[in-house]
Structure 1
Amino acid sequence: MTRPIQNRRLLPALMAALVAAAALAGCSKSEPTPKTTPDGKRIIVIGHAAPLTGPQAHIGKDNENGVRLAIEDLNREGFTIGGQPVHFQLDSQDDQADPRMATTVAQKFVDDRLHAVIGHLNSGTTMPASRVYNAAGIVEISPSATTPRYTQQGFGNAFRVMANDVQQGHVLGRFAVGELAAKRIAIIDDRTAYGQGLADEFAKAAEAAGGKVVVREYTSDKASDFTAILTKIKGQKPDLLFFGGMDGQGAPLVKQMKALGLTSQLLGGDGIHTAEFMKLAGPAAEGVVASLPGRPLDSLEHGPDFRKRFESKFGKIQLYAPYCYDAMQVLARAMQRAGTTDPAKVIPELKQTDYEGVTARIQFDDKGDLRQGAITVYRAVKGEWQVLKTVESD
């Protein structure tokens, strides 16, 4: 008779032990034991996402290398978080500039329990991926997605280190009318979140400044033949043609303009402001005008040194590498101030960022956007982008 009584007495203790074991197992699953280097430094993996294959691969690798250089610098300086030496590692994934692939990559980062991601490159991939990161509570800093909708979603984990399309579009619209004397304006966009969004903002600003949009057409980010569109536009005799899209389409576009005898000034945004555009367009690039958020790199305190170090290691800067470098530096220093990589504690520190980066003094507004972003307008002259004007955005 005594054995059942003893068993009943042991049952609560046994149940408590099982609950404790389950709790420990659960903790172990959600927070795996941190990996360390042979010399005892904690390994922190940072995600990066961009197109690493396809027509935008040169820009994606440029982004990746910007993050990579920042990580090398941080590791070299003996960076610490919470007083513990750390070693950053990069997990760079190819989203193929495809929104569906972007969500697959984002879910991979979530499943791998990463705490932060630098990316994505394109607005069209950043938007769907941002919803995955927000649901998981992962920090996301985009170095190059310029759609204003990214930071208008109200996600507290989303940040951006360059000016957005509203700022850039307004500057370009006013510049087209005020500086380039454009009265009749044609617009082509590639129907992506970036291209269409920038074109929309440009159109509003140009018309507000007194210009007239006489024709608006669209294409895709995969197209290469623009003859039919350009023939239609030529009949409207525009002073200026604005293109919202990337260099892979911008280069054949300007070559076909020349072939058709279309003499309109071609103006574009940061998507065509690349070394690759110069290479692909060849002599047809001469005189093209394009913008890039931020001040000219060589005019900034840390810009020339960054250019020298980056180009000696990775080759000529294509576009966003300096912004990627700054994004990684801002992230690392927020982690250091927080004393942890826990996003819940890092995010408040990111909101308090005041960092003198390669591209700008970086401070974020209440949406996660860069405060007081400048826009610089350039002209293609003999294969190089030469500064025309830098404008402080609204």
Structure 2
Amino acid sequence: MTASRVSPRRHAAASACLLTGVLAGALALPAWAQSEQTVLIGHAGPLTGGAAHWGKDNDNGARLAVEDLNRQNLLIGGRKIKFVLQSEDDQADPKQAMVVANKLADMGVKGILGHFNSGAAIPASAVYSRAGLPYVSTATNPSFTKQGYDNVFRILASDDDVGMAIANYTVKELKATKIAVIDDRTAYGQGAAEVFARGVKALGGTIVAQEYGSDKATDFMAILTSIKAKQPEVVFYGGMDAQGGLIARQMKQLGITAKLLGTDGLCTNEVARISGGAVDGLLYCTRGGKEVEKTTRGAEFEQRYKARFGVDVLTYAPYLYDAMMALAAGMREANSVEPAAYLPAMRKVKFDGVTGAIAFDAKGNLQKPDFTVFTYKDGKRVRVAGS
């Protein structure tokens, strides 16, 4: 018995029919089923060290946004988009921030969230500018958006905004005329102190003492003793809650009756814990943005955040959430996830975020930044003024 043979022509025809059937089946599938595109988004912040609670809060906010976006089954450029967050630890250190920035750029991320503190965000922005990466940050130092880069965006008020707000509150509401200033010598702390001092002087106040420590200091007794002799009515601290809480405690120990003032670095629940309750009736702080829990979507966000991560919002998580949503809005506007294509579209982004209205000016600042002034009662922030 001889085996039957299939002619090459018949074999080719059969193969063509099979291929046609496969292609027809593929074309019948939804567009997103053909090719899902993974879009890597970089996040950088302090995930270890003394500022880790800030970095983790930011990471959580960005992560919640990514999860929400992925549930929407977004189609951009005809493909289903799956966002993936790549978080890196910059330890709130400028040198490590540069290492992290280069790493993220080399990984091919399509956008950047973070860095948390201005001292890390400003040097890292040069790397992201060279890479052409849209970069949305909570850095508050005014110079962040004054470097001439077209890729940087600030998602909340700058130190110019909140520093002047607390200066106004100091002179006009607290009626203080003799003010002492301390800062931690970081880009954030020193910048906030300089804006505040300039604002106070313009309003007729007098700076009776100007001192500085560091962002790792724990003993402020010598500085505070020197300040006490000048009898200020207000002590302003430009820095973070880890030191601000200790300053509040040591002011109480020394019997200093002046109020302690600061910007958003001091506006946390953590500062109350560190101070051992000393901030009650003592601390007044200004934070960029509205009181989030009072915004239309803020209360819901805080509930979902706690359900997802098991902790309360610290401060900036809602802003990182809106920062991620701003990147996604830019991509939708341009119908592309490629940085070169959607970066120009970031100027057209406009939406109501968790933190309020999101829209950027030509330099990358929020068009209408808000601020809120808080004091503390029973270890909790209490709003006393705001825009």
Question: Using a 3 Å threshold, how does the CA distance of structure 1 residues 39 and 316 change in structure 2: closer, same or farther?
Answer: farther
The residue correspondences of 1:153-192 to structure 2 (distance < 5 A) are 153-192=147-186
How far apart are residue 83 of structure 1 and its match? 2.5
How far apart are residue 339 of structure 1 and its match? 1.3
Q: Work out whether 1:333 is the aligned partner of 2:351.
A: no
Q: Work out whether 1:292 is the aligned partner of 2:287.
A: yes
Q: What code does the residue aligned with 2:375 have?
A: R
Q: What do the CA deviations read for 1:93-133 (whole angstroms, capped 9, x no partner)?
A: 00000000000000001111112110110000001100011
Q: Work out whether 1:352 is the aligned partner of 2:343.
A: no
Looking at structure 2, the residues matched to 296 and 138 of structure 1 have their Cα atoms a distance apart, in angstroms, of 30
Looking at structure 1, the residues matched to 59 and 80 of structure 2 have their Cα atoms a distance apart, in angstroms, of 24
Asked whether the equivalents of residues 195 and 245 of structure 1 are also in contact (C-alpha less than 8 Å), the reply is yes
Asked whether the equivalents of residues 52 and 94 of structure 1 are also in contact (C-alpha less than 8 Å), the reply is yes
How far apart are residue 282 of structure 1 and its match? 2.0
Looking at structure 2, the residues matched to 283 and 123 of structure 1 have their Cα atoms a distance apart, in angstroms, of 28
How far apart are residue 360 of structure 1 and its match? 1.3
How far apart are residue 353 of structure 1 and its match? 1.1
For 2:135, the equivalent position in structure 1 comes to: 140
Looking at structure 2, the residues matched to 38 and 240 of structure 1 have their Cα atoms a distance apart, in angstroms, of 62
Asked whether the equivalents of residues 52 and 95 of structure 1 are also in contact (C-alpha less than 8 Å), the reply is yes
Looking at structure 1, the residues matched to 99 and 356 of structure 2 have their Cα atoms a distance apart, in angstroms, of 32
Q: What code does the residue aligned with 1:176 have?
A: T
Looking at structure 2, the residues matched to 87 and 115 of structure 1 have their Cα atoms a distance apart, in angstroms, of 12
Q: Work out whether 1:379 is the aligned partner of 2:375.
A: yes
How far apart are residue 240 of structure 1 and its match? 0.3
For 1:89, the equivalent position in structure 2 comes to: 84
Looking at structure 2, the residues matched to 272 and 332 of structure 1 have their Cα atoms a distance apart, in angstroms, of 31
Asked whether the equivalents of residues 118 and 324 of structure 1 are also in contact (C-alpha less than 8 Å), the reply is yes
The residue correspondences of 1:165-244 to structure 2 (distance < 5 A) are 165-244=159-238
2:103 aligned to 105, 108, 127, which one?
Answer: 108
Looking at structure 2, the residues matched to 363 and 234 of structure 1 have their Cα atoms a distance apart, in angstroms, of 44
Asked whether the equivalents of residues 275 and 316 of structure 1 are also in contact (C-alpha less than 8 Å), the reply is no
How far apart are residue 139 of structure 1 and its match? 1.2
Asked whether the equivalents of residues 186 and 233 of structure 1 are also in contact (C-alpha less than 8 Å), the reply is yes
Q: What code does the residue aligned with 1:106 have?
A: A
Asked whether the equivalents of residues 165 and 286 of structure 2 are also in contact (C-alpha less than 8 Å), the reply is no
Describe the SS at the equivalent of 1:324.
helix
The residue correspondences of 1:23-172 to structure 2 (distance < 5 A) are 40-142=35-137, 144-172=138-166
For 1:15, the equivalent position in structure 2 comes to: none
Looking at structure 2, the residues matched to 341 and 82 of structure 1 have their Cα atoms a distance apart, in angstroms, of 8
Looking at structure 2, the residues matched to 358 and 134 of structure 1 have their Cα atoms a distance apart, in angstroms, of 27
Asked whether the equivalents of residues 275 and 317 of structure 1 are also in contact (C-alpha less than 8 Å), the reply is no
How far apart are residue 40 of structure 1 and its match? 4.4
Consecutive unaligned residues in structure 1, runs of 5 or more: 1-36
How far apart are residue 298 of structure 1 and its match? 2.0
For 2:304, the equivalent position in structure 1 comes to: 309
- Scaled by the length of structure 1, the TM-score of the pair is 0.88
Looking at structure 2, the residues matched to 184 and 39 of structure 1 have their Cα atoms a distance apart, in angstroms, of 68
Alignment identity in percent? Answer: 45
Q: What do the CA deviations read for 1:320-366 (whole angstroms, capped 9, x no partner)?
A: 00000000001011111211111121111101111110101111111
Between structure 1 and structure 2, the one with the greater Rg is 2
Describe the SS at the equivalent of 2:246.
helix
Looking at structure 1, the residues matched to 95 and 356 of structure 2 have their Cα atoms a distance apart, in angstroms, of 32
Looking at structure 1, the residues matched to 190 and 85 of structure 2 have their Cα atoms a distance apart, in angstroms, of 32
Q: Work out whether 1:246 is the aligned partner of 2:240.
A: yes
Question: Using a 3 Å threshold, how does the CA distance of structure 1 residues 294 and 265 change in structure 2: closer, same or farther?
Answer: same
What is the count of residue pairs matched by the alignment?
Answer: 354
Looking at structure 2, the residues matched to 204 and 73 of structure 1 have their Cα atoms a distance apart, in angstroms, of 42
Looking at structure 1, the residues matched to 57 and 246 of structure 2 have their Cα atoms a distance apart, in angstroms, of 22
How far apart are residue 372 of structure 1 and its match? 1.4
Following TM superposition, the consecutive aligned residue runs of length 4 or more in structure 1 with deviations greater than 4 angstroms are: 37-40
Question: Using a 3 Å threshold, how does the CA distance of structure 1 residues 312 and 232 change in structure 2: closer, same or farther?
Answer: same
Looking at structure 2, the residues matched to 326 and 350 of structure 1 have their Cα atoms a distance apart, in angstroms, of 13
Asked whether the equivalents of residues 199 and 242 of structure 1 are also in contact (C-alpha less than 8 Å), the reply is yes
Asked whether the equivalents of residues 40 and 108 of structure 2 are also in contact (C-alpha less than 8 Å), the reply is no
Q: Work out whether 1:343 is the aligned partner of 2:303.
A: no
How far apart are residue 291 of structure 1 and its match? 1.2
